[in-house]
Amino acid sequence: MKIEDIKNICVVGAGNMGHQIALQAALSGFQVKSTDASEVTLQKAQQFVDSYLPQRVAKGKLTEEQAALARKNISFVKTLEEAAQDADFVIEAVTEKLALKRDIFSKLDTICPPDTILATNSSFIVSSMIADVTTRPSQVCNMHFFNPALVMKLVEVVQGPHTAPETAEVTVELCRRMGKLPVLLNKEIYGFLVNRILGALSTEAVFLLDQGIASAEAIDLAVVNALGHPMGPFRLMDLTGIDLSYHIGMERYRETQDAADKPSPVIVEKYAKGEWGQKTGKGFYQY
Ligand code: 3HC
């Protein structure tokens, strides 16, 4: 697969990350099919696109023509078969559950043409934990976007031991053609670059909160005003989803059996209460 051959992109999962990755690809001129196992999530993704594009026009960020073209470039389809059968490149952006990702990759391997590249947007899971379910491990890699994907420039591309250099090169170039700034990791490591650094910060912030040292608001205020971050760790967890923090911790714990990897009590409590952040209207903050 060469970069010039990539015309059709399939994005599997239309949740927090998937709907914006799909729209970014459509805005960049690719033919995009967005799919999700949940019809409600797929409908919400479509509603987002239908309201976002006119807002961008009203704000002077897009012309009417650009918005209309992007809308034409993206379709929302209910089945994985329909979404992936003519894809040149697939970006999987489903929940952070290894078993689910493996199941999807094994299906994609049978549905997609033989030269299709299969990338995972996983936040932490390296693609070698998934690639072995396919007959094309050399065409599998990580392509990790950041939230909100329409805004954040960086994308981490991770070349696993199974990933062919051409696959990594094409993926890096695709990031550029999607208006993003790619960084290539030559070796796999759990959590890649950004989430390892962010994880260290968030773990410390949650520890300080759990110890009753300061409130979430005070810790956020400190990080924004002393470190110059655009938002503090708690507001950021509300944006990325406390359910995501919970699942990532649980998956890691399942793998390592190290109690230190378990999500902290405050994350477990918020997850159980359904206080998952912006998406549920309440997290560390009220929305
Ligand atoms: N979706 C799409 N666009 C959004 C958005 C959203 N949820 N939120 C804000 N924007 C856009 C606005 O439309 C605006 O665009 P414009 O300037 O082109 O008109 C621009 O972002 C700035 O928005 P605002 O002025 O409303 O707000 P801020 O200036 O406060 O910016 C922010 C919002 C971009 C979210 C900024 O606070 C920020 O950069 N926060 C940090 C985000 C971050 O750290 N992301 C990484 C998270 S870690 C991660 O994703 C890892 C993964 O594995 C989970």
- What pLDDT is attached to residue 189? 96
203 shares its domain with 175: no
| pLDDT over 90 (residue 149) | yes
Ligand 1 pocket, residue 159 CB under 6 Å = no
In a domain, 119, yes or no: yes
Alpha-carbon distance of 173 to 160, in angstroms, equals: 17
CB-ligand 1 contact for 3 (6 Å cutoff): no
| Residues 28 and 9 occupy one common structural domain | yes
- Please report whether residue 136 resides in a domain: yes
Going from the Cα of 202 to the center of ligand 1, the distance in angstroms, rounded, reads 18
Q: How many domains does the chain have?
A: 2
pLDDT at 187 over 90: yes
Flag whether 285 is in a domain. no
C-beta of 240 in contact with ligand 1 (< 6 A): yes
Residues 6+ apart with CB under 8 A from 212: none
Answer yes or no: is 175 within a domain.
Answer: yes
Would you say the CB of residue 224 lies under 6 angstroms from ligand 1?
A: no
Task: Say if ligand 1 is within 6 A of residue 51 CB.
Answer: no
Q: Is residue 283 part of a domain?
A: no
Say how far apart CA 230 and CA 89 lie, in whole Å.
32
- Facing residues of 34 across strands? 11, 76
Residues 13 and 108 in one domain: yes
Q: What separation in Å is there between the alpha carbon of 151 and the centre of ligand 1?
A: 6
Segment 33-87, tens digit of pLDDT: 999 999 999 999 999 999 999 999 999 999 999 999 999 999 999 999 999 999 9
- Regarding whether 173 and 58 lie in a shared domain, the answer is yes
27 and 48 housed in the same domain: yes
Q: Is the pLDDT of residue 173 over 90?
A: yes
One domain, residues 135 and 216: no
Domain of 240 in residue numbering reads as 194-278
Strand, coil or helix: 200 = helix
CATH number at residue 219: 1.10.1040.10
Q: Where are the beta strands (DSSP E) in 57-180?
A: 74-77, 89-92, 117-120, 140-144, 154-158
**Does 174 lie in the same domain as 37?**
yes
Residue 123 designated active-site: yes
Q: How far apart are the CA of 234 and the centre of ligand 1, in A?
A: 15
Give pLDDT, residue 55: 98
The atom number, within ligand 1, closest to the CA of 144 reads: 53
Last residue of a domain, one of 154, 185, 216: 185
- pLDDT of 251 reads 87
* Pair (27, 137) in one structural domain: yes
**Domain match, 132 and 236 both:** no
Distance of CA 66 to the CA centre of its chain: 25
Residue at 75 is within a domain: yes
**Helices and strands in the chain: count of H runs, count of E runs:** 11, 8
The yes-or-no verdict on residue 228 having pLDDT over 90 is yes
What percentage of the chain exceeds 70 in pLDDT? 100
Residue nearest to atom 10 of ligand 1 (CA): 151
Judge whether residue 91 has pLDDT over 90.
Answer: yes
Give a yes or no: residue 235 inside a domain.
yes
Domain endpoint, select from 162, 185, 208: 185
Catalytic-residue membership of 166: no
